[in-house]
Structure formats: structure tokens, C-alpha cells
Structure 1
Amino acid sequence: MSASALADVVPAADVSEVLRQAVFDEWEQWHEPWRQLLSGERFRRLSHSSADEHLRWVYERLRLVGEALGDPLELVGDPVRLACLHEWLAFVDPTLAAVATIHYNLFLGALQGPDGTWTRNVGDFTSVEQVGTFLLTEVAHGNDVAAMETTAVYDRDTDTFVLRTPSVGAQKFMPNTSPVGGAKTGLVGARLIVGGIDRGVFLFLVPLTDAAGVLPRIGTSRLPARLGSPLDHSLTWFDGVRVGREAMLSGAHGRIDDHGVFSSDVPERRNRMMRSIARVPVGRVCVSAGTVGAARAGLVMAVRYGRNRHIAGLTESARLPVFALRSHHGPLIEAIATVYAMNMFYREAARRLGDRGGPGAAEAEMFVSAAKAWITWRGREVGAQVRERCGAQALLVNNGIVDQLMAVEGAITAEGDNQAIMAQVAAGLLMRHRPEVFVPTSRGRTLGDAEWLHELLAAAERIWLERAREARGAAPAQALARRNAAMGPALRAAQVYAHRQAAQTLNSAVAGLPEGEGRELLGRVHLLFAVRGLEAHGGDLLRHGLLTGEQIDEVPMLVERLVAELAPQADVLVGAFSVPEEFFAGMPLAAADYLGAYDDAGGPWHRQV
């Protein structure tokens, strides 16, 4: 059935509802409360506010979220529910999403014990009377936090820890530790020194500010303004700050008993650190969720604007919406397909967080990390298309698109820089790679075969891993030389791995729909996304007999055909994202009469001549 026939036979609302079920699936119960709360007038951003006024607004809204939650124990303990919140927060206000991630995931999440209960009294934090923040990275230590310099020396005589910042490079970098927003307490990553012995990195609960300002023996200074969502990023140092033994977040990975003796069930210091920062993978899923939610809303705006913006047609007297042009709608249709894949990839990553403690822990960790990096990189690309398709008006702050562009740049760095994360994924893929003999399989297969497309992506991944293995073997014997020789092709393999996982999760969503027009439409979306992933690998697949020359020629024309079929369904496809109308308040680009924002009651067009 053609796309036009599909639109004639099935009401758009019915198809969009089927797709909406695919987008949100069984998590709908966790989404609706946030949609309703964040649609309220209290969450509409202040116009023309200063950076500090906006920050105060953000912390006040964090408290409104806290009021809606009551006891956030279930939210903090369930990564899926926490991620669902971020899908909506990120578009409402990226700064608010960042603060919520820090407070609820990194801070409160770390205070939750293995049995799901709080490890200490957290009343002030659950009510957000005290804002929680997280101080891990340092000026000189980002992705290599295992080498951090901040120390927490245990003083047995007083049963306290003494925190110090020993160098300029050891200052904590970019936590939200200014007095703006009220009293704050931080979880501070520091090297535990007991009896002169370095026991590894642990977290310590340290009050930072109160109503009067920064507490004694602590220094904070605001970093230069950051484009986009302006959080109160600061440098923070400690000059002999004392906290009690109970301030250390202890557990099986390390504790100090009543006699001042340190013990641990985890012998390696690096593994102790990983136990301490176990909430980082959850944060990666939250960052992915926010990126997906913002990309969905941005595409709703872009499609609307494309329908409402009219230009000269093919004849002098004709007018047509700019969306009617292939040059305009083509990039948006491909972006829509990408966002559907991002959505399903993120959802599966959230599910797999629960596998990190079981036999599939390494695979789950790789999957979650690849999802975060790939999703946020694609979020940047989608945001750029939204910005371009909306023209100069998209550069105006009141339309929100610029904030989203800057927010995704932050997401690319947050919870581990993407390139560093993907380097770890690449190393993991290479470690488990075994050379395989390729058997030509193109005979009798077509590009409309979803499973075959996934097999082709897997083959491209193996080709790059084999190149990495060969390059490593040919390199000089030094460890760095061997790593560097292999890393380029291994990173290419990691990118194909991520695209393949995204395609497979999208195809699973297609398979989960009932037979009918909605499933057929989402199947086309999957086909466009999967085929696009093959284009860069046509030569390799041809050389290995996995594609024929005719099939390689067919790929670009198949893409064009799919774009043409999906373009009439753009409103249905983005309608399934269920973005509340209230989210677009004050954004002229999203209005049917976007010209109204520029009207002047005194303009000559209001006077008859």
C-alpha cells in the first residue's frame, strides 16, 4: 500500500496512536504524571531573565518536582522511572534537567543502599531543602578520575576525615556549588588515606553552603558563562575540611570500623572506585533520555514550521509550504527515522541497566555506554537539522532551539566524554572479536529484508574489527603503539555496532505492533534508518560478496523512495511523540500564525490606504 493510500484508508489519529504506543510502550504509566506536571504554568520559563534569575527559577522548580514526588525512593531506585522524567524535563528546561540528574541520580542515588533503602537521614534532600550535588572530576582529571588528587585523610584520634585540595589541577571542576539556589551538600570524590596508605577513591558527604553562603575552609568560584543552559558551574577546593566517619559512603568496597581499621571485600583500588561511582551508568541513560525527548519536541516544531512557512511556488502566482520541497523535508524525514531509532535504543539501554550485576554485566555496560555516546551524537545532528530547517528564527532564544543545541553539547561530555566512552566500547569489541570467514549471502536476499540488513551491519562491524586486529599485530611491540594502531578502525566498528543495535531495537518495536498500517509505517521508518547505515560500507560488503553491485546501486534510490513515501506521514510520525502543546508556549516557531509574534499594532499594514 502506498503512503498516499495509507493516509486515505486509515485516520491519521489512529495510526499516530499505534505509533505512540511503540514510542512509550509499557512505560506510559511513568510518563503521564510528568507530562501533566510539566505542562503547568509554573514550569513556563521566565522571559528576559538574567542568568542568576533563571538559576533561582530552576532550583525553585526542582523543589516543585520534589513536592510532586514526596518520598523519591521509588524514583531513585528505578532507572526507568527516573529516565522517563528526563524525557520531558530536557525540553522544558535543559538546566532543570541537569540539576535533576545531579540531585536525584548522582547524589540521592548514591545514598541508596543495596537493599533499596536510604543509608542515612535524607529528609532535607528529598524535600530539596538541601540541594545535592556531585564533585568528582577535577581540572586536571576528567575521564581519568582514578588519578584524582583530592585527599580525605583519616584522623584516628578524632575519628574524622580531613579533605584537602593539594594542587591547582585538583580543584573540583564544574559542579553546581555556588550559593545560588540555597543550601547545598555535595558528594565529594577523594582518595582515602588511612595510616599513610592510599585505599582508593571513595565518596564523602560534605556540606558546602548554607543560607549565609559558602562554609568555612571551602572555596568556590564561578566558571565563565557557558552557552546554552547556564548552570552555576564552579571550581571548588577544600582546605582541611573535617567531616565525621559517617560521612564516608562505605560498603563492601570499603569501610572503617570503630577501631579505625580499614577493610574491603574488593582488592583492586580501581574497582573500589567503580563501586563508588556506580550511578554513572544510570546517568548515561538519563542523559540519553533527555536527548531523545528534546529531539522529539524539536522535530515537532520543525515539521509544524515547514507546514506553516509558505514560499513562492513553481509558478509566479503559486504559493506552497516549504515542507513540500524535497530539499527541505528530506533531511527532516531522515531525522525522524533517526529519532525513532534513538528512542528505542535508549529504552533498551534503560532495561539493560538491571543486567549490570549479572552474568551479562560486561555486555550490558557496553550496550549502555554505546547508547549514550551514539544517541547524544545523533541528537547533535538532529538538532542541527531542526535549526537549519527553521532558518534564522531558530537562532532566536525565545524559540528554544539554540538552548537545545547547546544542551546536547553538554550531554556529549556529561557522564563520560563520548569519545572516551566509545574507545572503551571499541576495546571491548576488539577483545572479544574472533576472525571469521565470510560466506557470500547476497543471493536471494533483498534490501527490504530487515534481518538481512542487520546481518550486513554486523558484517561491516566485523570487517572493521578485523582491520583493527591486523593493524595491532603489525604495529611496534610497545603497548601505546599497538593501541593507537588498532583504535581508528576499532572506533569505526564501535559506530557500526551502535547503529546496528539501534536498528535492531527499532525493528523489535516494529515486530511488537499489531498487524496493520501503523506497523507498516514504522517498518518503513526502520528500513530507511537501516539502509542509511549501509551506505558507507558498500565497497567492503561488495568485496566480501555480501552485496552485489546492483544492490549497491539500489541503496540511494531506495532511500529516495522511502523519503517520498514517508514525507506525507510526517505529521503522523511526530504526532506520536505526544509533546504537550503547553511546552511550546512563547515559542513563535511552533505557532500556526508565527507571524503574529512580529506584528506591530502601529504598523502601516493595519491602516487602509
Structure 2
Amino acid sequence: MEAEYTEEDRAELVALVFDGLYESHHRRLAELVRDPIFDQREGLDMVEAGRLSYERIRHVHRALGPARDVAADPWTLFAVGEWSCLLDSTTLPLSAVHYNLCVGTILRFGAGRPELKPYLDELDDMSAVGMFAATEIGFGNNVSALETEAVYDQATDTFVLNTPSPRAQKFMPYCGITDIPKIAVVLARLVVDGRDQGVFPFLVRITDADGPCPGVVTHRCPDKPGLALDNGVTWFDHVRLPRANLLSGDFGELSADGVFISPLSRRGRFLRSFDRVHAGRISLAAALVAASRAAVYLAVRYSWRRETAAPGRGTVQVMSLRSQQVALLGALSRVYAMTVFLNEVKRDYVRGEAPEGLHRKIAIAKALSSWEMTGVITVCRERVGAQGVFSVNRIADYVAMAQGVVTAEGDNLPLLLTVAGELLAPRGAGATRPDPDGQSLLDGRFVMDLFSYKDETLRRETRQRMDRAPFSSAWNDNMNRVLDMAEAYGTHLVLRSFWQAVDGVESGALRTPLRLLASLYGLLHLRDDAGWYLARGCVTAEQVIALPDLVDTVCEQLAGSSHLLVDGFNLSPELLRAPIAQDDPVAAVDRYVRSIRR
């Protein structure tokens, strides 16, 4: 039975999901993607689909104004990715790189430089699209070891950008469609007077309307299922760059007589050159969570309209079956948890929290959200059956998008290992084991204590193991435990953020379903880790045995509120244009199939 709620309840839920920023930063993006340019196109090959994605992101860009304004406004930057990706997942990396990694890096390290104005003018109106070229084929995530060189030639006061070997080719920048003008921020090793000064960003024109610029060689990468991004490999053959194209900002200066001066260490300079990657991680994670909201919206809506046979009950709605409820409401709980956690991370970033703790939180958000949302989207795809394999119903495209986010802007595993290294440094007394006697797993405070205990215990146990191990093998021998430790820390942060958000809700009609949703999120993680908690005496055997029934009970109580909870995403059948989202999905699928040009 569907729960009753008012427009005020719905408005408060929308405010929770969009952190109170829907009217100021999201509404105009939601309206932009309703344009017919975002309608589904059948029969396109990968290159045609890629060109269409460029047209779509330019459509969004024209409405938003100069790229430098978007790059300077994190809230708008995040919102662009969150809405455009719902209709075309390829627009997400295009917008994130253009606005954040390219224009944002130029503004961060080249502000006030009149020599760069011609580049910024082209990027501002998107007559040229911004790129970012860091990763090399032979080095993957180990960007600090890259081999592309920019050698300073004092006689001409220029840099010579060169790719010294096949393994140093820039891997997967967006250079596969070569007649679209592109300007890239390229990371290269600065060499001055024969001395390697470390990795710095350089501004490089890659292509114009006639193809690759002199000295730039590009090749298109193989096709990627579900993602029409024109990734390629790029080789630089002694490309001459003006002095002004070194984007050293406040962390390095090349004097008039050719002497390089920097107040930072080589590692400090390297980390500074990646300053904009943190906003990029938030943007990708937030967009993937937005796509997951759309996937859950579609799956829940369709499941209330799709009918099936049930033993002894005749024909019923699929959503009335407990297996469908646990799958989709579990997905809904994960989406809400990650939504409110990303909102918290965004706020911390915009406020400029202390970099160390903030960067750790961003890494956690990117890694955990992309893994959890990969699961959410996969569940939704399966639970709508055969309809889930068609791009017009959106969810299948989100699957490929999720896989891209797992790897982009720093692969999840290296990110978590970095977080783990920071977590191992402080030493404390450890947490007190929660006493399970008389406790209910529906008590949010008790579950929070369990998550906190696991977080602290894994840190203490991992430190002890590494202290006892030989230095040469301590890290490798404990790597999987270290990753578990970092993930437990992150899950604890997410659950804490979720409960804090729920406790701030004023509407009584919302408080009960949201508390159930937060409880469900905790129960699902407890179910996955029940053996760990049982072995340490944190829960009883009886509580573990009761977990499946508790999950079923919570989902039964939540089912009637599922319409309300997905309405909080402010989506609509008209916006998503997915046949399965319509009031009569069978008729909508029939109309769409008949409309396809043969």
C-alpha cells in the first residue's frame, strides 16, 4: 500500500537529496537536458555517437556561459555532470575534463597571464574542447614516473615537448576524433639545463579543424562497450612550446636567465600539479550516484507496473514480491547513503576544509561510491529483465559509465591504499567492543557502534601486524587487510553521515521511511560482515540468524514509501524518455519500437 505524503514532504526530501541547492544550481541543468538534442538516436556507430556527445555538451555549455565561470563555481561544475550523464553518459568525462582539469588547471596555475588569453577564449566558448593528458601506456596510475619530457631550450626561450618511447605515449586522452579543435593540459617532465625538475602541466594545442597539429600524432583507441568517448593515444615529436605554456603557478618559476626556482620539493610540486583532480573525483562520483538514482527510479517505477505470476496469488506487481523489494530497496538505501555522503564531501570541498583530511574523504567517496553504485546499477539492470539491456532504457549505459568511474581520476585500489597509509599513522588505544546483550540491530546507535568498532579494530590489528613484519614485505603481505581497513573506515563515515542527515529531517512522514532506509543500509553491511562481528563477540549467533528476517521486515515496511523516496530524486518520465518509466510501459515500448527507422 502506497504511503500518503504532502508536497511539503516531497519538497523536504528534494532538499535533502540536492542539499538545498536544487533551485539555485540544478533546475536549469534539469531543464537543459530535456532538449530534443538529448533524445535517443538509434543506429549510430561509435564515432557518430561520440560526435553527438560533443554536440550535446556544447548545447549545455552555450546555456551556462563562459567555461571559466563554470570552472570557478564547484556547485555548477558538479551539477553539469550529474544531469547531462543521465541522458548521455559520454558527456560526463567531456564536461569534467573540459571545465575542471583543463580550464580549472589553467586558471589555477596561469591566472593573470595575458599570453594564455587566446587559449582561454577558445575554451570559454568551447570552440576548442579542453583535454587532460597525464597517464602513459607504460605507467598507468604511477604518473610520477612518466617519461614525456619538456626540455627548456634557452636559445629560443621555448620548451621542446617529446615522447621518448612507445611506453611514454599519453594513454586515453580524448583525441580519437581529430577534426574537433582540442587544447590539452599535458603533464610532462620539466628538464632545465640537463636537470630533471619533476612533473609539471604544460598547455598544448592538440588538434584544429584540419586535424592533429604539427608534431602531434594521435591514434584512436578500440571501441568501448556503452561509452562513445573518443579515447586515443598521443605521441609528441619535438613540439615547440612558448615559455608561457608552462603552468607552474606558485610552485615554480623559470627565471629570465634560464634558472628554475621552486619553494617545494619535487613531490610537493607533483602533488600541486594535480590540484584539480580532487574536484574531478567529486564530480565523477556525484554524477555516478545521480545515474544510480535514475537507475533505481526506473527500476522501482517499472516494478510497480510490471506484473507476474505468484503462487496462490494469481497476477501481482513484481514490486510486491519480497525478493524484488530486498534487491531494489537495498539499492535505494545505498543510493541515499552515498547521496548524503557526497553532499557532505561537496560542502567540505567548497568550504576549503584542511587538505589532508579532505583529500582522504574525497578518495573514500570516489572509491566507495563507484563500487557500491556499480552494484546498484547492476541490480537495477537485472531486476527490470530484458528491458534493461536497451540503451533507450538508460540503465545499460550506466553500467559502462560505472566501470569508467572506477578507474578514472585515480583507480580505486591505489586511492584506498593511499588512504590506508594515512590511517595507519596515528596510534590510539583502540575502541571498546560493543556488548550485544539486549541490543537490537534496528537500533541505529548500536549499529553505529559496531561500525566504529570494526573501523578502529582493523586499524589497530593492521598496525600490529605491520610492526611485526619485516619492513621489506610488511606492506605487500598485509595489502588486502589494509584495503579492508580503509573500506571499513569509509563505510563508517558513510553510515554516520546518513544518520546525521536523517536526524535533521523535520517531517514526521519522512522520518520513519528514512530511518528504515538508514537501518537497511546498516543491516546489509552487517549481513556481509556477520562472520567478522560474530567472531569478535560483537553480535550473537541469534542476531546473525535473525538478520535475513530483519532485512525482509524492513523492506516490507518500506515498500509503501518507495514512490515517495524515488520522487525525492526530482526525475520524471519526460526527462528520462525511457519507455519503462512511462505509466504504461508496454504501450511505450511498442510505440518506441515502431518509431525506429529501418
TM-score of the superposition, structure 2-length normalised?
Answer: 0.93
Aligned to 1:510, which of 502, 506, 516? 502
Q: Once the 2 structures are TM-superposed, how far is the Cα of residue 444 of structure 1 from its aligned partner?
A: 5.8
Q: Once the 2 structures are TM-superposed, how far is the Cα of residue 181 of structure 1 from its aligned partner?
A: 5.9
Match of 1:339 in 2: 335
Of 274-283 and 448-457, deviating more is: 448-457
CA contact (8 A) 2:67 2:126 kept: no
Structure 1 Cα separation of the partners of residues 251 and 28 of structure 2: 37
Question: In the alignment, does 2:90 pair up with 1:98?
Answer: no
Question: In the alignment, does 2:284 pair up with 1:287?
Answer: yes
Aligned to 2:412, which of 412, 418, 421? 418
Could you say if the C-alpha distance between residues 546 and 483 of structure 1 is closer, same or farther in structure 2, counting changes exceeding 3 Å?
same
Structure 2 Cα separation of the partners of residues 244 and 363 of structure 1: 38
User: 1:323-354, CA deviations, whole angstroms, 9 ceiling, x for partnerless residues?
Assistant: 11111221001000000001011111112224
Match of 2:297 in 1: 300
Q: Once the 2 structures are TM-superposed, how far is the Cα of residue 190 of structure 1 from its aligned partner?
A: 0.3
Q: Secondary structure at the match of 2:196?
A: strand
Aligned ranges for residues 124-163 of structure 1 at < 5 Å? Answer: 124-163=122-161
Question: In the alignment, does 2:12 pair up with 1:21?
Answer: no
Quick one: which amino acid aligns to residue 86 of structure 1?
A: G
Of 49-58 and 593-602, deviating more is: 593-602
Question: In the alignment, does 2:271 pair up with 1:274?
Answer: yes
Q: Secondary structure at the match of 1:367?
A: helix
CA contact (8 A) 2:178 2:212 kept: no
Match of 1:606 in 2: none
CA contact (8 A) 2:434 2:449 kept: no
Structure 2 Cα separation of the partners of residues 88 and 437 of structure 1: 42
Q: Once the 2 structures are TM-superposed, how far is the Cα of residue 569 of structure 1 from its aligned partner?
A: 1.4
Structure 1 Cα separation of the partners of residues 592 and 449 of structure 2: 62
Q: CA RMSD in A?
A: 2.3
Structure 2 Cα separation of the partners of residues 440 and 324 of structure 1: 36
User: 1:32-55, CA deviations, whole angstroms, 9 ceiling, x for partnerless residues?
Assistant: 111111112222242222222222
Match of 2:26 in 1: 31
Question: In the alignment, does 2:344 pair up with 1:348?
Answer: yes
Could you say if the C-alpha distance between residues 123 and 580 of structure 1 is closer, same or farther in structure 2, counting changes exceeding 3 Å?
farther
User: 1:78-101, CA deviations, whole angstroms, 9 ceiling, x for partnerless residues?
Assistant: 323211221112211111111001
Aligned ranges for residues 27-106 of structure 1 at < 5 Å? Answer: 27-28=21-22, 29-106=24-101
Structure 2 Cα separation of the partners of residues 477 and 260 of structure 1: 42
Structure 1 Cα separation of the partners of residues 558 and 518 of structure 2: 11
Could you say if the C-alpha distance between residues 81 and 117 of structure 1 is closer, same or farther in structure 2, counting changes exceeding 3 Å?
farther
Could you say if the C-alpha distance between residues 341 and 434 of structure 1 is closer, same or farther in structure 2, counting changes exceeding 3 Å?
same
Q: Once the 2 structures are TM-superposed, how far is the Cα of residue 552 of structure 1 from its aligned partner?
A: 3.6
CA contact (8 A) 1:55 1:180 kept: no
Aligned to 1:523, which of 493, 508, 515? 515
Quick one: which amino acid aligns to residue 357 of structure 2?
A: E
How many corresponding residue pairs? 590
Structure 2 Cα separation of the partners of residues 240 and 276 of structure 1: 22
Match of 2:583 in 1: 592
Q: Once the 2 structures are TM-superposed, how far is the Cα of residue 211 of structure 1 from its aligned partner?
A: 1.1
Match of 1:563 in 2: 555
User: 1:141-192, CA deviations, whole angstroms, 9 ceiling, x for partnerless residues?
Assistant: 1211000000000000100000110011000000001344621111111000
Could you say if the C-alpha distance between residues 600 and 67 of structure 1 is closer, same or farther in structure 2, counting changes exceeding 3 Å?
closer
What percent of counterpart residues are identical? 34
Match of 2:569 in 1: 577
Match of 1:447 in 2: 441
Long gaps (5+) in structure 2: none
Structure 2 Cα separation of the partners of residues 179 and 313 of structure 1: 52
Could you say if the C-alpha distance between residues 541 and 597 of structure 1 is closer, same or farther in structure 2, counting changes exceeding 3 Å?
closer
CA contact (8 A) 1:200 1:272 kept: yes
Match of 1:186 in 2: 184
CA contact (8 A) 2:149 2:161 kept: yes
Quick one: which amino acid aligns to residue 313 of structure 1?
A: A
Could you say if the C-alpha distance between residues 593 and 543 of structure 1 is closer, same or farther in structure 2, counting changes exceeding 3 Å?
closer
Could you say if the C-alpha distance between residues 433 and 541 of structure 1 is closer, same or farther in structure 2, counting changes exceeding 3 Å?
farther
Q: Secondary structure at the match of 2:240?
A: strand
Aligned ranges for residues 219-258 of structure 1 at < 5 Å? Answer: 219-258=217-256
Q: Once the 2 structures are TM-superposed, how far is the Cα of residue 116 of structure 1 from its aligned partner?
A: 7.7
Structure 2 Cα separation of the partners of residues 107 and 85 of structure 1: 16
Long gaps (5+) in structure 1: 604-609
